[in-house]
Structure formats: structure tokens, C-alpha cells
Chain A
Amino acid sequence: MSEPNEHSQARPVTLRVNGTEHRGQVEPRKLLVDFLREDLGLTGSHVGCEHGICGACTILINGEAARSCLMLAVQADGAELMTVEGLAPQSGGPPALPGKTGQLHPLQTAFWEHHGLQCGFCTPGMLMTAYDLLQTNAAPSEAEIRAGLSAVLCRCTGYQGIVEAVQAAAETLRAGEEDQ
């Protein structure tokens, strides 16, 4: 059992999230996902199991997919993070009205078109995992997509719309690169 105040000795943490630098004081035992959600107000990363199986909390840490529930905030000191909130290009204008289309990343657009989500709880982790997959494999086969996405559990969709969405997004992203 712990003694009083043992956990209260906050440490300074500096990290960049979605291109913006954040400085904060954080208890050494605080999970990175709790820091993102509670201290930075970035509630897009979800907590589904806290033991690294469900993948809802997946974010990019220094460019690679990782579970933000299996890491302490202090371990991310100095790191460059990307969360689902940073996926869409930032328009700078007021946010789109609900039901209207704002700017979306090709992955988000493809999830929308292929019904790659129902309740939406796994979606942020699924998107970030798919983003990571397409970074390392621009033209994955269906089996490679399924293996890549097996890091995140979805209970609603049966994964079919998600797999189709990642295939479609991969094509869009490849076409975009050829144009450049």
C-alpha cells in the first residue's frame, strides 16, 4: 500500500501533440492516455481495456503506433505524438456543423463511405493503426490489412467495412502520391 503524497510529486513533461507543444506537471504514475484525455482535453483516444489488448487507445509515438494505456505520461517526455484529432488536415476555420462534411483524411473519408464504424468507440485506435500500416505498406493485401488491424478489437462491424475502407484509402493515397 502506498503512503500519502507518494504519488503527488508531479514531474514536468514537455511533448508535442499533433504539432503543438504542451508543457505540464504530471504524477509519475499517470498513464499517457489519461494525460491526453484529462490534462490536454484530447478525448478522442479511448480507454477500452487498460491491458493492451483492445487497441482503442492507439496513437503514434515518434511516428509509430503504440498503446497509450501501456505507457506513463512521463515516459513520453520529449516525444512527438499524433492522435486521431491530428489526422484530418487542419482548416483553421470554425469547425464544420454536425452532419456537414469538414476536411477529412482519406482514411476517415473511406471509413465514412464504407461504413467502417458503428458505435465509433474503437474507431480512433483503428484509424491510427491503419495509418501506421499504410505508412509501412502502401499497397497491403486483404490478408495484410486483416493482420495489421488485428491489433484493434471492434465488436460492431465484423471488420468488413473497415478492411474495405483501408483498401480504398490505400488506393486514394497512392493516387495522390503519383499526382505529385
Chain B
Amino acid sequence: MEEFTPKLVGARVKRREDQRLLTGQGAYVDDHHPPGLLHAAFLRSPYAHARMTQLDTSAARTREGVVAVLTGKDLVSLVKPVRAVSKMREYKETSFPPLAVDKVRYVGEALAVVIAENRYLAEDAIEWIRVEYDPLPTVANERDAAQPDAPVLHDEAGSNVLLSREFARGDVDAALAGAAVRVRDRFRFRRHATVCMENRGCLADYRAGTGELTLRSATQCPGLLRDVLADLLDMPEHYIRVVAADVGGGFGAKSSLYPEEIVLCAVARLLKRPVKWISDRQEDLKTSTQAWDEIVDAELGLQADGTIIGLRADVTTDIGAYSIYPWTATVEPIQTISFLSGPYRMPHYRGRNRGVATCKAPMGPYRGVGRPITTFVLESLMDRAARRLALDPAELRLKNYIRADEFPYKTPSGLVWDQASLTECMQKARDVLDSDATAQWRVQARAAGRWVGVGFATYIELTGVGSAIPVSPGMPIATGTEAAFLRVDPAGTVIATFSVAPQGQGHETALAQVVADALGVSFGSVRVICGDTALAPQGTGTYASRSAVLAGGAAIRAGQALKEKALKIAGHMMESNPADLDIRDGQVFLRDKPERRLPFRDVAKTAYAGLRRLPKDMEPGLEVTRFYDPFFGTASSATHAAVVEVDTETYAVTIKRYIVVEDCGRIINPLIVDGQVRGGVAQGIGAALYEEVVYDDEGQLLTGSLMDYLVPTASELLPIEVHHIETPSPTTLGGFRGMGEGGTIGAPAAIANAVSDALAHLGIEINEIPMTPEKLFRLVRAAGADGR
């Protein structure tokens, strides 16, 4: 087919989904009330680690409005246990029961469910379930968990260390022994909560007459859920429909299979009535997958002129109580050692990791997976090296970036970067910052006793991953393809259905732009539907910065295939050679004689009018399904710059300016891209300065409300300055690169470097986030300064 020519792609098209969301007409899970609806409430463990010696539901069953009460033992005959399978060597597979059987492993783990006529009555009856616990020693943190005599959470694993892995290139120990400068530190990312504004929730509805089960869920991955539920419930896939209509944020936390989804499906099938469960905020903070909680010991070696010669690192990740499906406990720790070599030429490298189980909510993917911490570690080391070598930190980076002529570049862990604009992003960031003026301001402010600093962070990230690399290592499910299902109705409207499933990324608008361009019709004549496995049966969902690349590529393929057939029909109608025709703005026209034209809708009508009106041997109809697999995937890159001030009395960090210069390839919709970047940075700022999940030594969650877990409000944030270098990917259809996660990747590193710069005169170098006023106060105290 011909080259893809963008027309609507690249335009600032206002979002089509906004109309319903702005008028209160969205369709989130909780907005559905089918007739006969029942409501579920879960009894959750107050202990971090305990054996259940008694679980008596008889009193609860007699309470007003109660229809059923089920425990883990009741479910054994209804569903198979979840096994988070991975073919990775040195990974120990474990079970994750939908309701705990015999033993609980974290505070909040579900052990029984009450089904009642309304949620109030279901919650009332929960209090009538009698449980006797025999408390077991708590595995409170990664340090305790890895001790040889530590209590073991999963007997079948025999140890709390559920995975370990190493990636290496060259001889890093010898290289570092010969380095002119070595910088090292122990870096720490504290545990993080995703906090989607819509809590998790789902609604299962089983129709006994047809045997169909429909699950509406606040999920990123309807296709993935459909596949695993078919297995767990032992039902044919085509009898299960998973729908994710409007979903209130995801950011990775809604990409895994959750116990409640399994329980509700089992219960709906058992009771033959629809059942809904909507999490409250405390449940969500206790049970949605959490992120990070990693310690990285890393050392970087450089020559005297600043050339990097090698990096070695040991990573420990607290993976919580269970390995999740389908990503498993390997998702964060493996990607951490995969991405640690960053955007630099790295001749010698060794990254080792361990994933350790503790009594906390399961760790799962969160916006950026592995990249936020690796960017923090490497970019912090780069600034330390610049200080030791008395070099400008930006110059040190420019010297070491992978050069334009070195792409495609294979990293020490085996990933391939197709192309990136590392130098261009940094140079543009310095221009936007006005480096000289900022440097002058910094000198003057410091002379006045203020603690001000500037920090940079550059990253490169793998996006739009194809089938060559599983999204999570050794994972048995296929994540490398997506499909576009395009159907033109006889009135000429294109109904474009996709198996990707957005949670605010604007697919209904962006993918309509791509389809309209590929086919040559107007934006208004393309309707996009996402997130319903009955309409788009093949594909998994929206995660890992993949939708623009995979669904966008499938949209181009399908649009071009439709166009080919439409031109054949039009050629027959116009008595012209299809090769001489084209479609633009919904009109088929003769290239040499544009006044000879035909509305596209006439072609659509003819396509369904029967053989008499069609070219000889042509099958009637105008619809296609096309798949796309980018195979390796592509790279996105950016440089972030932060200017900060630390208050000398309160130790609060204020961000004065925040600049992003990024290359996400060909931009489909600048409005949406800028929104994704800004929202990503906002989450990175929250992580850098405010947000931390805290468990005490007994495994009790101390941050179980939004008064304790601090999400930034409008008052804490500032306008983010976003600039683009637009280099179409050389490897993907349409030249798109994924970009949904990038903002969160760069922000903690850039802010930490800026704070370290602001406190450099005290000898303080940040190695941990969040940088709360209390932590900064302690650091300043330990440095022997009193703040003035």
C-alpha cells in the first residue's frame, strides 16, 4: 500500500468523549443498575499474617437482605486458583486464591463475601461473620523477609525470595577497578499507591438462558480478563463478555486480574442474578496493586574526561504478599535491571535483582514500570559524577548519550532502541530553560541565602512493545498484537472497534483521526468503540504505552485495506481504473480530473447492494479486520528540567519551573499528548515530594485514607512547559511511539537532582523519595547545618 499521509493526524482535535463526561452521562461501572441487582461486600483480614482457625458465616446468613455468604472453601469447587505463571528461570510460582483459604498474608486480604439486596445490608452482615485467627509472625519488610530464619509466606515456594535474575555485559568489576572516578549510593523508592479517582469495581451478570456471563469492570485489560476468566471458570471464551466502558483512571493498577472479579463472576453464575461490588477508598488503598518499594545499590565508573565505562547494581524489590496475574512479581524488578543502563553508551554492565515477598498488598505495574527508579538512580549518579569531575551536568550527559549513528542500539540487557533524540531534547531543554540566565539567577539567589537548584533528567523508554519481547518476562500471554475491526455501514459511517481499552487517554478521538486519514473520510464519519470483548474479540487492552503504536498501526492497516476495496467498487461505478482514484474528505475522485467525484457513502451503499452492482467476482460488504505487531517496539525519549527552591525554615520544596522536551514520534493529537505529559509529570511530582504508602512493623497500613496518603492538589502543582521534537519512529507503522508513561518517568529524577543542587553547599545528595520536609530537615541536621 501507499505511504500513510497524515491530515487529521497531528491536528489539535477536541475530544469526542468529553460531551458525555462533562454532562454527567458517563458510563462507569457503578452507574449500571440492572434489574434484580445484588451487592457484594468483602470481609478483609485485620492481620498481616495469620492462620484462620475458625470461619463461621451462619449468623451472617440470617441477617436482613442477605442472599448468600461465601468463603474461600466454598469457592474451591467453583473456580480454579490463580497461578501467576512465568517461564523465567529462578522464579517461584505461587497461588493467589480469590478468597483466602486457611491463611491470610496481608491486611485487607479478602476471606469472605456477603451478597445482599443492597450495599448497606451487605456491609452490616459482614460484622456477623465470626473469624478466629492464630496470628503468625509478620514479614514486615524486605530486610526481614530475606533472613534465613524468616517466617515463610508461601510454603510452596520454601522462601520469601520469589525471583532473582542478572543481566550483564563485559567485565564490569575490572572496568570499575580501572575507573578514574567512581560514584555510588544506595537509592530508595518508597512504596507508592496509584490512587485512580474511580476506585476499583465490577458487575457480573449471568444469563442462564443463553449461558452468557458479562463482566463490567473498571479494568484496563478486558481481553486479558476474558481469557483468564474462561480458564478459571472453565467456560468457553465466547460465552464471556468483558466490558470496560468509561473507566476512571488506571495507570497500571487496573491492568491485573483481581480476586473480586473472579468472586463476582462465580457468584453471579451460582445465583443467576447480577452482582455488583464497588470498592471504597480504604479498600482500594489496601488492596489495589502498589508500586516500587525498591532499594538499589549502584556504582558508576567514568574516565577522567567523563566517559562512562561501566555500571553495576543490586536491586531488591518488596513485591508484597502475592505474585499477580498476568504480570507476576517479576514485572517491576526485571524491568529495573533491564532499563538501568539508560540513554548512555554503556560498555560494561551488571544488574542483579531479587524480589522478596512480605505482608503487604501485592506489587504491580505502575506508570513507567522500572523506568522511574532507574532514571532516578542513573541520573543521580550522573550528577554526582559531574560534581566530582567539576563538569557541567548537561555536558556530561551530552558526552555520553548514545549517538545518532549508533541506532539501532542494543542495550546490555538485550533491548533494542530503534532511534531517539537524546541530544536534541537536552539542547532544546537548555534553550527553553535559558541556561545562562538561570545560572545567573541561581548565583544571585544563593548569595541572598536561598536554597535553589536546577536538575536535569534524561530517559529513553521502550514503548509499543511487539511480540519479540513479552511485556513481563516469561509471561505466558501474548501482548505483541492488537487488532482493528472496521465496518462501513451502507450510510457510509465507519464503525471502528478496538480491543484496546482507555481510561482517559482519548482513544475515541485519536484512533478516529488515524482511521479517517488512512481511509480518506471525515473525522465525523468515523465512530470508535473500545473496551468490549464482544465487539473486539482479539487483543488484551491498554497498558505499557502501547495503544497509539499497536492500535494505531492496526487502524492504518485496516483503513488502507478498506480503501483498496472501496476504490475497486468506485472504479466500477465510475468506469475508471481504481489505481487512478483516491479518497479525500469523504469523496472518491479521479486524481487527474478531481471534478469527477463520487461521495464515499454512495460507494458504501453499493458495497451492500449485491453482486449486480459490484465488479465481477467481488464479495459484497465493506468491512475488514487487521492485526498489527510491531515486533520489537520502539523508543521514546525526553529530557526533563526542574528548577526548585527549598524553604530554609519549613524545608518544603517548591518547584519554580518544570520543562519537558520529548520525542514521541509522530504526534496524533497534540492536545492529548500534552495532557498525558502534564498528568504524568503531576504523578511524578507527587511521588517525588508527597506520596508514600506506610506499613508499620505489624504490617498495618498507616496510610489508609486520602488524609494520610497525600495526592497533590491544584495548589501544589504548576504549569508544566511541554516541548516536542517530532521524529517519526523508523520502525512502526505511522511512525508513532508510545508516550503515556513518560511524564512520570522523568519527574522524580529531575526534582531530586534539583534538590541535591539546592543543598549541594551542605554536602547533601538526595538518594530517596519522597523528599518530605521531615526527611530534608533530618538530612540538613545530619549535615551539621541549622538551616541558615
Contact = CB atoms under 8 A, between A and B. Distances in A.
Contacts of A44: 23-26
B281 A48 contact: yes
A155 B249 contact: yes
A111 B19 CA distance: 10
Interface string A146-169: 110111111111111111000000
Given A118-B675, A146-B715, A155-B249, A123 B21 contact: yes
Contacts of A27: 120
Interface string B115-140: 00000110010011000000000000
B31 interface: yes
Interface string A31-58: 0000001100011111111110110100
Task: Among A54, A88, A147, find the residue whose CB has the most chain B CB atoms closer than 10 A.
Answer: A54
B195 A4 contact: no
Interface stretch (A60-68, A72-80, A100-108, A171-179): A100-108
A2 interface: yes
A5 B64 CA distance: 7
Contact of B197 (A37, A145, A155): A155
Contacts of A162: 714
A160 B678 contact: yes
B735 interface: no
Nearest to A159: B714
Contacts of B63: 4
Contact of A56 (B15, B197, B720): B197
Contact-residue size bin, chain B (C-beta under 8 Å from the other chain): 35 or more
A121 B719 CA distance: 22
Given A123-B21, A146-B715, A118 B197 contact: no
Contact of B23 (A38, A85, A146, A156): A85
Interface string B63-75: 1100000000000
Contacts of A157: 675, 678-679, 682
Given A27-B120, A145-B714, A158 B197 contact: no
Interface stretch (B159-167, B381-389, B439-447, B501-509): B501-509
A29 B197 contact: no
Interface stretch (B255-263, B413-421, B692-700, B704-712): B704-712
Interface string B392-411: 00000000000000000000
Contacts of B717: 146, 158-160
- The majority secondary structure among interface residues of chain B is loop
A87 B23 CA distance: 8
Given A43-B31, A118-B506, A124 B24 contact: yes
A115 B15 contact: yes
Contact of B16 (A38, A98, A161): A98
A13 B706 CA distance: 31
A54 B682 contact: no
A90 to B, nearest CB: 11
Contact of B18 (A88, A111, A155): A111
- The majority secondary structure among interface residues of chain A is loop
Given A98-B20, A111-B18, A51 B707 contact: yes
B23 A84 contact: yes
Contacts of A113: 14
Interface in B469-508: 503-506
Nearest to B680: A158
A158 B681 contact: yes
A122 interface: yes
B30 interface: yes
Contacts of B26: 43-44, 120-121
B527 A99 contact: yes
Contacts of A16: none
Given A49-B281, A56-B197, A155-B683, A119 B503 contact: yes
Interface in B634-686: 671-672, 674-676, 678-679, 681-683
B66 to A, nearest CB: 11
Nearest to A30: B120
B158 interface: no
A145 B527 CA distance: 36
B448 interface: no
Interface in B584-622: none
B327 interface: no
A42 to B, nearest CB: 7
B674 to A, nearest CB: 7
B340 interface: no
Task: Among A49, A85, A124, find the residue whose CB has the most chain B CB atoms closer than 10 A.
Answer: A49
Contacts of A98: 16, 19-20, 527
Contacts of A43: 24, 26, 28, 30-31
B196 interface: yes
A43 to B, nearest CB: 4
Contacts of B504: 117-120, 156
B687 to A, nearest CB: 12
B453 to A, nearest CB: 22
A154 B711 CA distance: 9
A29 B281 contact: no
B19 A120 contact: no
10 contacts: A29-B120, A44-B24, A46-B248, A49-B705, A117-B504, A118-B679, A120-B248, A156-B197, A157-B679, A160-B720
Interface of B: 14-26, 28, 30-31, 33, 63-64, 120-121, 124, 127-128, 195-199, 246-249, 251, 278, 280-281, 503-506, 524, 527, 671-672, 674-676, 678-679, 681-683, 705-707, 711, 713-715, 717, 719-720
Given A83-B24, A151-B713, A160-B720, 4 more contacts: A43-B30, A56-B197, A104-B22, A127-B22
